A = this chain, B = another copy of it.
Amino acid sequence: MGLAAGYEAWLITVGNEVLIGRIVNTNMAWLGRKLTLLGYKVDRGLIVPDELEDIAWAFKTAIKAKVKIVISTGGLGPTFDDKTAEGLALALGSRLELNEEAFKMVKEKYESKGLELTEHRIKMAMLPSGAEPIPNPVGTAPGIHVKAGETDIFCLPGVPKEMEAIFEESVEPYLKRIGPPVVFVERTLEVRGLPESGLAPAIEEVVKKHGVYVKSHPRGAELKVPMILLHITSSGLNKEEAVRKVEEALEQLKRFILEKGGHIGK
């Protein structure tokens, strides 16, 4: 994608409900989009069940790959199968301990509602040693931030509105601060009347010539009424240059489509 090297991000989803297809993984799409727009290259998505060894595997694999950023969602709540903090501790070779700051956050939330601090509620304040809690402006379980070598690891809850709130309030500003100063430019082009395989040579040429990324999404049927959505993206340190590259690629694609008797939607 031509993004600044060294800014790879991995996304981890913890949760059987995603693996058994009870829930569609909208969290991963939301985070993928956010990170891409921030200039990070989202390089891997790992989905693991609510099992300690599997969760630890995901974090260990990401740490070993020396990526810049790892963000997990899910497994931070009060129930027995919320094991992300423990799995992360296992991956880090550390142990869970009661984090004073997290305990204060959880305590305040429940006490303000007149609810007692049960064992299950206190569990949400148990973090891997060396980790920091991230305030949850919407729910009760704090997020987790910890560094492993050069890798920043963030664990967020699986409830979308809590995940999004913590990300936007705390994680995004941090990522902007440490991230690449890149811009991301995208355009789409709707093509009718040409099969994807007929467009393939032009796409290949445009990608090579303009250094953009072009992805074709077949929407109709290749041999019936083909409709292809082309997604042209470019990113770089210079906004004018990224825009120019995408626009030039777009023009060349349009010429090719019209020459071949295709139609342009929008």
**Chain A residues in the interface with B (C-beta under 8 A):** 1, 11, 13, 16-26, 28-34, 36, 42-49, 54, 77-81, 109-110, 112-113, 115, 118, 120-121, 124, 138-140, 159, 195-201, 203-204, 207, 213, 215-218, 221-223, 231, 233
Contacts and interface: CB of A to CB of B under 8 A. Distances in A.
Nearest to A26: B24
A16 B215 contact: yes
A141 to B, nearest CB: 8
A19 B47 contact: no
B215 A17 contact: yes
A36 B20 contact: yes
Contact of A33 (B22, B36, B120, B196): B22
26 contacts: A11-B47, A16-B213, A17-B231, A18-B45, A19-B42, A19-B45, A20-B42, A21-B28, A21-B29, A21-B42, A22-B33, A23-B29, A25-B25, A25-B28, A25-B45, A43-B49, A45-B47, A78-B196, A80-B207, A109-B223, A112-B223, A115-B195, A118-B198, A120-B200, A121-B197, A138-B221
A199 to B, nearest CB: 8
A81 B204 CA distance: 9
Contacts of A36: 19-21
Given A79-B196, A80-B200, A140-B197, A33 B21 contact: yes
Contacts of A21: 28-34, 36, 42
Contact of A18 (B29, B78, B80): B29
Contacts of A16: 1, 213, 215
A50 to B, nearest CB: 8
Contacts of A49: 43-44
Given A79-B203, A197-B140, A218-B77, A24 B19 contact: no
Contact of A79 (B25, B54, B204): B204
A220 to B, nearest CB: 10
B19 A25 contact: no
B196 A77 contact: yes
Contact of A44 (B17, B34, B47): B47
